[in-house]
């Protein structure tokens, strides 16, 4: 009888780039939503391709407005705090952001504000004030990470709660593995971000990761699309909730089990790519279209 030789995952150390390897006899192929879809039929929620940058901008702004509606439905609001930014496909040196003081559940495409890297409000967007801290955070993120087209930040209940411990998420379930070795903790809370230097430190702490837990502050996620960043944000908030519940059970005497590095990386590799994460957000976006009759597209 022939035997299968198992190749152990070469788990990357801090600062090393994750590389495709094999795990327990299974070969890791290319990343993408094709790893998740099955049945030989076209999957309708694949990441779209665009004929030109104006067509892409229309799609991006619609999905940005839809993201705010999803965040509002999920309760990710805290007064004027919280912001989402998206790099403009037409002029990548500029980005779009939400107006200050408008509830996420009310935002439409026409409410989005177009701003340049110096903080000037551009004429082709809503003429409204924006969150000062939001601008300083997002301007630095887009400057430091050319691969980041979108960033989400909010002061959510479970995110703030778990971030208070200053610890990364444990790999305690399949969903948490999406953050395997690609999230970090920003320990240096310096008060509300009203100085550009604090935005620079946040961008430096993020490095090449997908997400940050901000101690005494909240959560931050980024992505190639607003859909990717939005799905990661909701997932991180729910992962913080699960982590807190597991910690309470653990303190009561139950043993917490951590997924081993091989399985965690295998799961990360097959579920945490930009295309798969874009696809993962579409059920919530499509539900919002139905619940609002597409109101936010205006």
pLDDT (tens place) for every residue of the chain, 298 residues total: 333 333 344 555 554 554 544 446 666 788 988 888 888 888 889 999 999 999 999 999 999 999 999 999 999 999 999 999 999 999 999 999 999 999 999 999 999 999 999 999 999 999 999 999 999 999 999 999 999 999 999 999 999 999 999 999 999 999 999 999 999 999 987 666 556 778 888 999 999 999 999 999 999 999 999 999 999 999 999 999 999 999 999 999 999 999 999 889 999 999 999 999 999 999 999 999 999 999 999 9
262: left (phi over 0), alpha (psi -120 to 50) or beta: alpha
What is the model's pLDDT at position 7?
37
Output the pTM of the full model. Answer: 0.91
Domains and CATH numbers, the chain: 53-297 (3.40.225.10)
What are residue 87's DSSP bridge partners? 95
DSSP string, 115-161: EETT-PBPTTS----B-HHHHHHHHHHHHH-TT--EEEEE--HHHHH
DSSP state of 187: -
CA distance 191 to 212: 16
Q: Encode 149-177: b = buried (16+ Cβ within 10 Å), e = exposed.
A: bbbbbbbbebbbebbeeeebbbbbeeebb
Report the relative pairing of strands 150-154 and 183-186 from DSSP bridges: unpaired
Give the pair of three-digit tokens for residue 126: 């809503």
CA distance 127 to 53: 23
213: nearest Cα among 170, 252, 158, 163: 163
DSSP state of 81: B
């Amino acid at each position: 009888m022939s035997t299968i030789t198992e190749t152990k995952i070469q788990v990357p150390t801090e600062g090393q780039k994750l590389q495709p390897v094999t795990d327990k006899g299974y070969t890791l192929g290319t990343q993408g939503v094709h790893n998740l879809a099955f049945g030989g039929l076209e999957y309708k929620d694949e990441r779209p391709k665009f004929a030109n940058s104006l067509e892409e901008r229309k799609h991006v702004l619609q999905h940005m407005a839809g993201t705010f509606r999803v965040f509002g439905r999920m309760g990710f609001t805290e007064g004027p705090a919280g912001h989402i930014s998206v790099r403009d496909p037409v002029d990548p040196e500029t980005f779009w952001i939400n107006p200050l003081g408008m509830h996420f559940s009310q935002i439409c495409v026409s409410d989005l504000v177009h701003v340049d890297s110096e903080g000037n409000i551009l004429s082709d967007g809503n003429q409204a004030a924006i969150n000062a801290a939001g601008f300083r955070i997002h301007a630095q993120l887009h400057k430091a990470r050319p691969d980041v087209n979108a960033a989400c930040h909010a002061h959510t209940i479970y995110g703030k709660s778990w971030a208070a411990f200053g610890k990364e998420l444990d790999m305690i379930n399949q969903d948490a593995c999406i953050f395997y070795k690609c999230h970090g903790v920003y320990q240096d809370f310096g008060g509300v971000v009203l100085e550009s230097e604090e935005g620079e430190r946040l961008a430096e702490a993020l490095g090449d990761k997908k997400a940050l837990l901000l101690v005494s502050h909240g959560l931050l996620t980024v992505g190639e699309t607003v859909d990717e960043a939005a799905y990661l944000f909701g997932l991180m908030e729910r992962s913080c909730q699960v982590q807190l519940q597991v910690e309470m059970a653990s303190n009561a005497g139950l043993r917490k089990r951590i997924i081993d590095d091989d399985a965690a990386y295998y799961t990360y590799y097959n579920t945490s790519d930009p295309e798969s994460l874009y696809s993962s957000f579409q059920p919530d976006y499509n539900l919002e279209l139905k619940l609002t009759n597409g109101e936010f597209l205006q």
